[in-house]
């Protein structure tokens, strides 16, 4: 029961291009997550630990 909130970006996407804009925003967030995971050597979401996250 974990959740991630995207906040305002998806609203901006919606305002700019409707459903396609939201799709683009979510796709970009997922691409950034994929890149960050690759750069840190994390192979799956389950492998992310508190040590990987800095506040």
Tokens of residue 29, six digits: 């967030």
> How far is residue 33's CA from residue 37's CA, in Å, rounded to a whole number?
6
Q: How far apart are the first and last CA of the chain?
A: 21
For the chain, percent of residues with pLDDT exceeding 90 = 69
User: What pLDDT, on the 0 to 100 scale, is given for residue 29?
Assistant: 93
The residues spanned by each domain of the chain are 8-52
Tokens of residue 51, six digits: 């040590």
For the stretch 16-34, pLDDT in tens is: 999 999 999 999 999 999 9
User: What pLDDT, on the 0 to 100 scale, is given for residue 1?
Assistant: 59
């Amino acid at each position: 029961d974990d959740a991630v909130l995207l906040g305002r970006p998806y609203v901006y996407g919606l305002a700019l291009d409707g459903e396609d804009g939201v799709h683009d925003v979510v796709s970009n967030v997922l691409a950034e997550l994929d890149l960050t995971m690759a750069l840190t050597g994390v192979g799956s979401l389950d492998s992310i630990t508190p040590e990987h996250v800095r506040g």
